[in-house]
Chains A and B, each alone.
Chain A
């Protein structure tokens, strides 16, 4: 019986050898992967071991960490949480993080490669230096105004968005999505309470967690006419050139006529001429519908693309990489099933209906490129990354052009027409005393039985013609008076942005 006993001894050794080999696999080869796994609760405890950096706007911290004395040593908090929620996002214990908190996580947490010097120093001193600080481009005044004015809009809209950017640099001055939410309950260390708070927000039919300014698109309505006007100007039509309009227009092959918002706009039988400038000023649907059919789908789509439509990888954060994702704006399908252009779809698309969809950011970028002489600057939110000791700067934004959708001459003509909209047309509410304001209103049908969306895109120039702010305000399902209210809110936001930038 001894021979089999010895063999059993060998078998046991083999079994233990297998255990040993497998432990090597787990504890040596896979160790790093398991140690840093998303499912590993220890990662969180380690994350809370070091004080997370601030996110600041105009010298005030709107995301900061306080010592707790608990197992997770620091509690994140967001003063004025609702106002900044969609920009800052949140950094919860167990849920996913979003916003600047997510995209700048490494720097805020202090694990970024840039902060390696601090980590090495910590090893010698035994201290725990906190994470770095992120300084945003936002203007406190413009952000607060945008939030307040959207909340208290006079048409009773419950959803909407506003975004303001500096046309010269692309720096975002304000970014608000309505309804907003308070991020503080989500970062509670009581993970069940945080989950409950999250579930409640996630189930809300108004979807407060969505960032409507960047990641939601809606039909832009007449604001799209600026793109159309740019295409017209480039195909030889001047601001004073007369284009056919009239009170009603029925595109070929389609039975349903396109009409103007009021009988007083471009009156007369189909084809009655109106200047391009007047067509913009009074938002003449029939004129632009016929213009679109004349220009053709390709030109319309190409112009929109040059303004930034169809770009699906734009992010707003730092200028080199990363940032909050931006949804692509689309001109959509304008074709018949047989592949040819459908004139009815093209006519509807030319007035920002049919399948045209735009983000508020894209609206603001159109206005900004017009204000900035045809140069569209890349939008960004992160102004500076500051070391934990606040002396060294690891990143300072250097503005750069994203694209050049129109020439300086076309931009000047468009500016002139948009200024006329605010002076004597549909956008009068946006006017700011002492500044030249231009813009374009938009009213877009949201569905057969739901109220229309109200839009306004616009810009403000100082006395020297220098652009200071470009803005887009969108009031979802605002109904009657929505675009006029959007224009008013846009004016107030730009006014605050002007005050914030020194009141030039």
Chain B
């Protein structure tokens, strides 16, 4: 079995998404408005004699970051366009041969964000970096940028959701900080969620996981991510698992065999039962 996910995006989605992205980040160039908003006051400031060197320097990185991101995303788009309609094998071959390496862009954007941590595209730069930096994570210094400049940003939820995959201690610390200190409620809830996912992945620290889920259920009963009530579905899953824990009486099964004859699990009381969910694949 091949685990090759991007194909699905190519075939069923008109806008291909990064296969690693947890959420839809199709805002490739969201800076137009910011640029307009900043340039007009800037021009006015210059006219009335205020010397705007500092502000100019701060904004210079924004458009550069957006340009680098756009160049990369465009290259990906070109590749996906090429892959469209091809056979699965051909798609896979193309993807492996031609997927644009993000290394250079990662390096440049990291440098630009660090040089202008409060700049207009700083947060979008970090968002992009999180999508492409995989398990080894983003430059640790970027966490200081996030904490100092973006802790209360409306865009923080998308950022913290992407951190469930990174395993560095900096990520852990930052998520904890967000879960406790951010003024954005959605971001606090999402930070708890990401912390939980990290624990689930490493299959350790059950106590901490329990504490986190308690907090999530108590304080974020209505955490909506991509239009879905995440807390509610986690709760339902948890309840199902508890019902099926070792030591619990197995829930009754009333069903039919393949010929339509009725069967019940409780018909087998008095016997040791190996209940086997199987398929002949």
A and B form one complex: no
